[in-house]
Amino acid sequence: MKELVVLSGKGGTGKTSIVGSLAAIAQNKIMADCDVDAADLHLLLDPTVKEEYEFWSGRVAVIDEEKCIQCGLCQDLCRFDAISDTIDYFKIDPIACEGCSFCSHLCPVEAISMEDNLSGYWFVSDTRYGPLVNARLGIAQENSGKLVALVRQQARKIAENNKLDYIISDGPPGIGCPVISSLSGASLALLITEPTLSGIHDLERVLQVCNHFGVPSLTCINKYDLNEDNTKNIEDYCLKQGVAVVAKIPFDNVVTESIVQGVPVVEYSEGRVAVEIRGLWQCITETLAS
């Protein structure tokens, strides 16, 4: 069983549209949406939720006003500026609190307790393309990396039990905690970029992250004809880095139209975009097999 994770560094380069299409093309696979704070893959796959679970993670400090002697030690030592003193008592800002529990350990009168925190939900669904595991991190919650790890773990379990060949993961943008959590230990990363200076800059950083964690990668240039000079620069850069550019997808409004219709673009149109994405999946399977 092989696990492909689709990343980009920069947001909005087309990760989800492409994963939606790969879901429609690939056989014997499961999809995992590892973008847990702005998940969109379900909008293309039209899932029927079979199982829903709560995700409890991290804790939040709570001060018992009755017990508090207002010594201010907690406020002095909190590194996250999460404790404010209002007119006559100390108060925790649950959004700023990182759940370290330092304050609860040092409070001389044990007035601070740590409460469990419902951070989000995760789901196992059926789609007409196969099973999907996705999640929704609560608003302004932490621990997105842990929720991503949970989504991947569940996807792997289902893949093993059902003897599936592939896990196809839609990754989050950026290079930080949820990206690292989506990437580490995957078989292959597909990096979606666009021929803009921002796209190139962000590709370079996410590629370094892949190298750092020892995950091999392939690149796909989306909307390549938007700026063919930049496309050439990306190809040169990838050649130098030893990363294959396996697809160049043209800019075409059919992609947006297919999203509005809520279907993967390969099922909406058999034009140039679809042809290129089918070729992309071919290259991915060959790379994964080798």
Partner 1 sequence: MIVSVASGKGGTGKTLVATSLALSLKDKHDVQLLDCDVEEPDDHIFMKPSITSSEVVSIPVPQVDEARCTYCGKCAEVCAYNAIAVITDKVLVFPELCHGCGACSYLCPENAIKEVGKEIGIVESGNADGVKFVHGKLSIGQPMAPPIIRKVKEKANKQGVVIIDSSPGTSCPVVEAIRGSDFCLLVTEPTPFGLNDLKLAVETVRKLDIPFGIILNRTGVGDNKTEEYCRKENIPILMKIPLDTKIARLYSQGIPLVKGIPEFRNDFLGLFDKIGDNT
Residue 117 is a binding residue for partner 1 (CB under 8 A)? no
Q: Which of residues 225-244 bind partner 1 (CB under 8 A)?
A: 226-227, 230
Which of 177, 244, 283, 288 forms a contact with partner 1 (CB under 8 A)? Answer: 177
Residue 144 is a binding residue for partner 1 (CB under 8 A)? yes
Helical H runs in the chain? 15-25, 42-45, 73-77, 102-106, 144-161, 177-183, 197-212, 228-241, 254-261, 265-268, 272-289
Residue 106 is a binding residue for partner 1 (CB under 8 A)? yes
Q: How far is the CB of 198 from partner 1 (least distance, A)?
A: 4
Residue 253 is a binding residue for partner 1 (CB under 8 A)? yes
The rounded distance, in Å, linking the Cα atoms of 50 and 52 is: 7
Residue 196 is a binding residue for partner 1 (CB under 8 A)? yes
Measured from the CB atom, the residue of 107 and 164 that comes closer to partner 1 is 107
Length of the chain: 290
Q: Which of residues 34-73 bind partner 1 (CB under 8 A)?
A: 35-38, 40, 43, 59
Adjacent-strand bridge partners of 238: none
DSSP H or E run through 191:
strand 188-193
Residue position matching structure tokens 């999203």: 259
Q: How far is the CB of 96 from partner 1 (least distance, A)?
A: 8
Strand ordering across the sheet containing 244-249 = 48-63, 112-127, 130-137, 29-33, 166-170, 2-7, 188-193, 217-222, 244-249
Adjacent-strand bridge partners of 48: 126
Q: How far is the CB of 194 from partner 1 (least distance, A)?
A: 8
Adjacent-strand bridge partners of 118: 56
Binding residues for partner 1, rule: CB under 8 A, are: 9-13, 16, 35-38, 40, 43, 59, 77, 79-80, 95-96, 98-102, 105-106, 137, 139-142, 144-145, 172-181, 194-199, 201-202, 205-206, 208-209, 212-213, 226-227, 230, 253, 256-257, 259-260, 262
